[in-house]
Amino acid sequence: MFAAQASPIGLLPLAVGFILLLFGLNAGRKRRLLDDTPLSKTLGVFIGEVEVTGTCVTSTPVQAYLSERMCVLYDWSVEEEWQRWETETYTDKDGRVRTRQVLRSGWTNVAGNGHTQGFYLKDEFGFLWVHPRGADLETLDLFFETASRHDDLYFTKGPNDEISDSTGRRRFRETGLPIGTQLFVRGRASERSDVVAPQIVQDPKAEMFIITPRKESEVSAGKDTAYWLCNLFGLIAVALGCGLLGGQQYPAVFLLVAVYVLAWAAGWVWMVFNSLVGLRNRVRQAHSLIDVQLKRRADLMPALVACLQGFRKYEAELQTAVATLRAQAGSAPVAAVASTLIAVVENYPELKADQSFNSLLKNLTETEDRIALARAYANDITTFYNTRLERIPDAYVARIISMQPGELFVATGFERKAVDVKFPA
């Protein structure tokens, strides 16, 4: 019978199979998160899970040690080859313990270092602060070369002392992110503590934190491949474990394989359900972000306009005082208006109307860009959500929990109007 013929060694493949199933479901979940999150612009990054692309820049670039390229971060190492005879103990076919000399070789790390720092991700709209600490970081190969003692590189970039049994060969490797590298960043945006601006840094609430020079489609394809390979090899492992446990008991083998398939199906439904719920919540959040930006505009613009009106008032006072001085300069003393002029200048030493107008224009433009990006993001993620509700087989899960399509944003109402900027004559 199955129980009588069972071998404990068959439990290991079974355990491996179900562990691979969990890894596969996790990879599939992350692929869905990647596919269901629209790309944001740096100016349109809001608090929460985001994906953004741009070039990496910094005001404090560092020069890589081996390639000497200017980077935001890099890491280098030097390995040295060794070869020596070692004594090995073994048991012969007669069960006797013997020793023999074996020539072994390998590589030992003899030097290395690196530099990691935060940097800005730059696109056509602005900059976003990113710190790679704790991220799933992928870098570019900057330098790789094998050198012998006769090469200048051997001692110039490597240590002067050699290891014992050295063959006189060293491998020099360096990876990093040069200035201007195009990156894809996926993480959780939060508010910076030093300025009012978002950032992407390590966050325990983040679903994923990825920094890579690969494209989003390539990252997603890798997760999809991992999903299918894990499930395939998991099924093979379970079938192998069933064979070791049950021998020729085909009903028992079929039963365990069926349990695996049912577990995979249940995990798939769980994965799709959570993905749809998460996507629905992000749709709601995206639409609320539009109101946040509209509220920002309603609060900020009148205050900026009032501030600028104040500057215009005091500049007018200054111009009036100067005109009076000019009129009296020919005959009358100027002491009466000099005190007024001095008071105005002392209270407002930098009356620069042009800069004030430029600041107002910049804030108006940035605010309208933020609103436009929030609207575009809301429509993008709503389209993603609606597509998922109609796509088979996800549509079947959506019907079970009665999910309804989201509505695309349509600008209506007085609150959608731009703020009128008017100054009294």
Residues 145 and 282 in one domain: no
Residues 46 and 160 in one domain: yes
Residue 52 lies in a domain: yes
Strands 198-200 and 126-130 turn out to be parallel
Residues 186 and 299 in one domain: no
Spatial separation of the C-alpha atoms in residues 40 and 47, rounded to whole Å: 12
Expressed as residue numbers, the domain containing 316 is 274-416
| DSSP, residue by residue, 172-230 | EEEEEEETT-EEEEEEEEEE-SSSSSEEE---TT-S--EEESS-HHHHHHHHHHHHHHH
The Cα-based distances of 327 to 224, 317, 330, 334, 412 in angstroms read 81, 15, 7, 10, 55
Residues 220 and 292 in one domain: no
H or E segment to which residue 259 belongs? helix 250-328
- 0.85 cut: is pTM over it? no
Residues 220 and 281 in one domain: no
Spatial separation of the C-alpha atoms in residues 169 and 167, rounded to whole Å: 6
Residues 206 and 322 in one domain: no
Domain count, the chain: 2
65: CATH? 2.40.50.140
- Residue keyed to tokens 């920002």: 296
335: CATH? 1.20.1440
Residues 333 and 397 in one domain: yes
Residues 77 and 222 in one domain: yes
Classify residue 210 by burial, with Cβ atoms within 10 Å: 0-12, 13-18, 19+: buried
Residue 101 lies in a domain: yes
The Cα-based distances of 193 to 59, 128, 168, 203, 285 in angstroms read 19, 14, 52, 14, 23
The Cα-based distances of 26 to 170, 192, 199, 230 in angstroms read 40, 30, 26, 10
- Residue keyed to tokens 């280098």: 76
Per-residue pLDDT of the chain in tens (425 residues, 90 and over written 9): 444 444 566 678 888 888 999 999 999 989 988 888 888 888 777 777 889 999 999 999 999 999 999 999 999 999 999 999 988 888 888 888 888 899 999 999 999 999 999 999 999 888 999 999 999 999 999 999 999 999 999 999 999 999 999 999 999 999 999 999 999 999 988 888 777 678 999 988 888 999 999 999 999 999 999 999 999 999 888 888 777 665 555 566 677 778 888 989 888 888 888 888 877 877 777 777 666 666 666 666 666 666 656 555 555 555 565 555 555 555 544 444 445 445 544 454 454 455 655 665 566 666 666 676 677 777 777 877 777 777 778 777 777 777 777 777 665 554 455 555 454 54
Spatial separation of the C-alpha atoms in residues 143 and 140, rounded to whole Å: 9
Tell which residue, 347, 352, 340, has the closest CA to residue 308: 352
Among the three residues 170, 201, 226, which one is the final residue of a domain in this structure?
226
Strands 210-212 and 136-137 turn out to be parallel
